[in-house]
Structure 1
Amino acid sequence: MVRMDTVSARSNLALIHFVRDELQRLGVRARLTFNADKTKANLFATLGEGKPAGVILSGHTDTVPWDGQAWSDSPLAGNVRDGRLYGRGSADMKSFIALAVAHAQTFLDSQAPFAVHFAFSYDEEVGCFGVRELIADLRDAGIRPLACIVGEPTSMVPAIAHKGVYRYKCCVRGKEAHSSLTPRSVNAIEMAARLVGKLRDMAEGFEREEPRYAGFDVPFSTASVGQFHGGIADNVVPRDAEFRYEFRDLPTADAYAMQAQVVAHARSLEPAMKQVAPDAGFRFETICEIPSFLGSAEDPVTRLAQRLSGERRTTLVAFGTEAGLFKNAGIPTVVCGPGSIEQAHQPDEYVSLEQLARCEAFLRGLAGTRELA
Structure 2
Amino acid sequence: MAQHSAMLVLEDGSQFPGLAYGATGRSLGEMVFCTSMTGYQETLTDPSYHRQIVMQTAPQIGNTGWNDEDDESDRIWAAGYVVRDPALHPSHWQARRSLGEELYRQGIVGIAGVDTRTLARHLREHGTMRGGIFSVPTLPDSTTMLTAVRASRPMKGAALAHEVGVEHRRVIPAVGSARFRIAALDTGIKDNIHRLLSERGVETHLLPPTSTFEDVQALDPDGLFLPNGPGDPATAGPLIQVVTQALHGRLPVFGICLGNQILGQALGLRTYKLRYGHRGTNVPVIDARTGRVAITAQNHGFALDAGPGRTFTTPFGTALVSHYCPNDGTVEGLRCLEAPAFSVQYHPEAAAGPHDARPLFDEFVTLMEKGREA
The normalised TM-score by structure 2 is 0.28
Higher relative contact order (CA 8 A, sep 6+): 1
Larger Rg: 1
Higher helix share: 1
